[in-house]
Amino acid sequence: MAEKSTIARPYAQAAFDIAKTKNDLKPWSEMLQFLSAVTSDVTMVGMIQNPQFQTQDLIDAVLKIGGDRLNTDVQNFVRVVAGNKRLIVLPEIAQAFETHRANEEGTIDAQVISAFKLNAAQKKELVTALKKRLDREINLTTKIDKSLIGGSIVRAGDMVIDGSITGQLDKLGHKLGVL
């Protein structure tokens, strides 16, 4: 089977085009995140991968679970995705949709992993620096990982800046031929 992200790309683009045309990006985003959670559930994955379940049974199950949370366009989208035997890639579709949405809205998700909790001033400084460097609005999330010893790792899109002490020690070890 082709890479899931490759399979998901045209579906995400189609969903994005529909949502953008109807000025419905946020609701579509929320509905696709919900569908991602549903189709990632262990029981649902088992059903999707079980050839004994007919496509219509899967569509009915997903739409029943979705209930009133899913508008008509999203319900039709589920029917198309399921009809093409692609329900298993809904998490990747949702992820690709979010990328399209972020590009449209000029935003990017950034994660800072640090050895210690960042205070408000540090977060603000990071957001300002990232906004200047990436020319986008920044949606910042933080995570604490004491194994970093000190410093932080910043991830935004495909950019990674490793300013952690652990990362610096690893680089030094490679240069010295120890690692």
Pairing of strands 152-156, 137-144: unpaired
**pLDDT score of 134:** 93
Give the pLDDT confidence of 26-45 residue by residue, as tens digits.
999 999 999 999 999 999 99
Give the pLDDT confidence of 144-174 residue by residue, as tens digits.
999 999 999 999 988 999 999 999 999 999 9
C-alpha distances in Å from residue 154, one per residue of 4, 112, 158, 162: 26, 5, 11, 6
pLDDT at 177 over 90: no
CATH classification code of 4-103: 1.10.520.20
Q: Which residues make up the CATH 1.10.520.20 domain(s) of the chain? A: 4-103
Query: pLDDT category, 89, cuts 50, 70, 90?
Result: very high
Please list, in sequence order, all residues whose beta carbon lies within 8 angstroms of the beta carbon of residue 165, skipping any fewer than 6 positions away.
115, 148, 149, 150, 151
pLDDT at 1 over 80: no
Distance CA 106, CA 128 (A): 15
pLDDT (mean) for 3-15: 96
pLDDT at 179 over 80: no
pTM: 0.75
Give the pLDDT confidence of 47-58 residue by residue, as tens digits.
999 999 999 999
